[in-house]
Structure 1
């Protein structure tokens, strides 16, 4: 099996785990989302710490927590924790359809953030895709009488997280370890507050250690977080980013199927119209990405040929 094929299989594996994760978080519906997030943070730290220790890379983490990079890590940590919390909450309150929509529109939000943050120029096809996505959000807002704020929040926080990651010169596993390390004191305080009865988020808290089934599920959240990221990192080193971007649509697609077929959440004609516009926008965006990738490969091949002929 070629390295590229191994990379594609790893990417499919990562996106499948991410896409089916609503099924896992639905099993934790009795546990308040803040408590789930706290456990996810701490168990992820344990998982990543073990992985990096085995790889001999644990010393790389403190380097990210000094100087200017420390602030970037903190901002990235805030963005990803907000994203994780909202995703967990959306599953618990039966809004998984909106969550899947958020991850569908994320690539288009990322394009707009690139324009704002880096002064990147929109190509006509990209502009059309972004316009269709905006129309989809407007259609859903008008039809349902409420803005799909969960979708926008998830896409926005994940987009901001991506911007922060671009400014960090570190691998994904090392950087995420630094992020959950920053968040771990807050997670510990939150769980301590639950244990002491300071807050309960409207429901009984402190499930870990009192319910074996839920305790195991909470502990497994570290593996569920870290495993796909390691697969993604493996794939990113072996597959071009255009292919990675296309395979990533498997994630929201599986989330969407979980929401509609398993959770039986409402899917109105307004949802259908909005999703149709989003899918069209992503088709245009993907076609443009493929065109750019092929053009870049042709240019590289032409340059290589020219170099050979000259020598």
Structure 2
């Protein structure tokens, strides 16, 4: 069980670390609309996953799973919900960035773990230790400080947090191989993306294959850039409790913060510093409690031996 959790933690850390540095990638595509970036992400993600399935020899299993999902309406509905939720999350984030609402977006990534923790407790009956409960309220205090300092209800933030939080819950419930599951998710929404891109290409308004080679490469590669961290996430979320995944989620916005302040020169005032202190205090408590728990289990094993 310990190795199982360690593997899940590594996948989760890999997913959120990758998402943490993605702003560097998206800042290279400055002349493409949010709608077209989203359509390209969905379309090329599907074909990237097809290649993954071919090389991993899972294509027959994918076809078998597709037939099974079609025979089970509830399972197919959950799959469709996951696809819609993650697509909505992508669109809302791209729209927010293009609308100069980066502050609200970053706040969403700090609210997201709290949503995951609450969903885990309500729907999966996960329990928290006293230290973890204290950590939750410390993190909540930090998020509230950020919210109050912003000055109004950040609906974009809660939209981002809720859409990805529920997506994580659905991924936790759907028991399917991570690569097959992601291929199925992108397949559900891919036809819409294909129609959108086709119309723009026919009208001569598409940025793909019409403006610059660098843009073409970035848009096509967005499939792999999108799919890889989602694969890591899917593997991690099935191996560790949702509350633990919730705390690990703070990696991504923290990396974005570092990029924003030190690479892009965005301001970071005293209010944000106080809020981040609460959040990192929560992470420190969770980390220490996990270390102590592993040490206790190790001592118990030694006594039994």
Taking structure 1 as reference, are residues 104 and 73 closer, same or farther at Cα in structure 2, changes over 3 Å only? Answer: same
CA–CA distance in structure 1, aligned partners of residues 172 and 140 of structure 2: 25
Residue of structure 2 equivalent to 1:278: 279
Q: 1:140 aligns with which of 125, 138, 146?
A: 146
Give 3-state SS (helix, strand or coil) of 2:59's partner: coil
Checking the alignment, whether the CA contact within 8 Å between 2:172 and 2:237 is kept in structure 1 is: no
Checking the alignment, whether the CA contact within 8 Å between 1:77 and 1:182 is kept in structure 2 is: yes
Shift of residue 9, structure 1, vs aligned partner = 8.4
Matched, 1:262 2:268: no
Residue of structure 1 equivalent to 2:206: 206
Deviates more, 1:66-75 or 1:5-14: 5-14
TM-score (norm 1): 0.78
CA–CA distance in structure 1, aligned partners of residues 125 and 235 of structure 2: 30
Structure 2 matches for 1:155-170, cutoff 5 A?
155-170=161-176
Structure 2 matches for 1:153-232, cutoff 5 A?
153-195=159-201, 205-212=205-212, 213-229=214-230
Shift of residue 273, structure 1, vs aligned partner = 2.5
Shift of residue 83, structure 1, vs aligned partner = 1.8
Shift of residue 14, structure 1, vs aligned partner = 5.0
Deviates more, 1:208-217 or 1:241-250: 241-250
> How many pairs does the alignment contain?
296
Unaligned runs of 5+ in 2: none
CA–CA distance in structure 1, aligned partners of residues 234 and 130 of structure 2: 31
CA–CA distance in structure 2, aligned partners of residues 114 and 241 of structure 1: 5
Checking the alignment, whether the CA contact within 8 Å between 2:107 and 2:143 is kept in structure 1 is: no
Deviates more, 1:187-196 or 1:209-218: 187-196
Residue of structure 1 equivalent to 2:32: 31
CA–CA distance in structure 2, aligned partners of residues 153 and 113 of structure 1: 15
CA–CA distance in structure 1, aligned partners of residues 16 and 23 of structure 2: 12
Taking structure 1 as reference, are residues 258 and 184 closer, same or farther at Cα in structure 2, changes over 3 Å only? Answer: same
CA–CA distance in structure 1, aligned partners of residues 209 and 57 of structure 2: 32
Taking structure 1 as reference, are residues 287 and 81 closer, same or farther at Cα in structure 2, changes over 3 Å only? Answer: farther
Taking structure 1 as reference, are residues 215 and 232 closer, same or farther at Cα in structure 2, changes over 3 Å only? Answer: same
TM-score (norm 2): 0.80
Taking structure 1 as reference, are residues 146 and 196 closer, same or farther at Cα in structure 2, changes over 3 Å only? Answer: farther
1:224-267: CA deviation from partner (whole Å, max 9, x where unpaired): 12334556678899999999888765433221112222233333
Residue of structure 1 equivalent to 2:94: 88
Unaligned runs of 5+ in 1: 198-203
Checking the alignment, whether the CA contact within 8 Å between 1:39 and 1:219 is kept in structure 2 is: yes
Checking the alignment, whether the CA contact within 8 Å between 1:10 and 1:234 is kept in structure 2 is: yes
Matched, 1:40 2:41: yes
Deviates more, 1:208-217 or 1:94-103: 94-103
Checking the alignment, whether the CA contact within 8 Å between 2:171 and 2:234 is kept in structure 1 is: no
Shift of residue 161, structure 1, vs aligned partner = 1.1
Deviates more, 1:147-156 or 1:164-173: 147-156
CA–CA distance in structure 1, aligned partners of residues 205 and 255 of structure 2: 30
CA–CA distance in structure 2, aligned partners of residues 69 and 52 of structure 1: 21
Shift of residue 217, structure 1, vs aligned partner = 1.0
CA–CA distance in structure 1, aligned partners of residues 40 and 296 of structure 2: 46
Taking structure 1 as reference, are residues 151 and 295 closer, same or farther at Cα in structure 2, changes over 3 Å only? Answer: farther
Taking structure 1 as reference, are residues 137 and 11 closer, same or farther at Cα in structure 2, changes over 3 Å only? Answer: closer
Checking the alignment, whether the CA contact within 8 Å between 2:15 and 2:233 is kept in structure 1 is: yes
Taking structure 1 as reference, are residues 227 and 12 closer, same or farther at Cα in structure 2, changes over 3 Å only? Answer: same
Taking structure 1 as reference, are residues 290 and 72 closer, same or farther at Cα in structure 2, changes over 3 Å only? Answer: farther
Checking the alignment, whether the CA contact within 8 Å between 1:140 and 1:147 is kept in structure 2 is: no
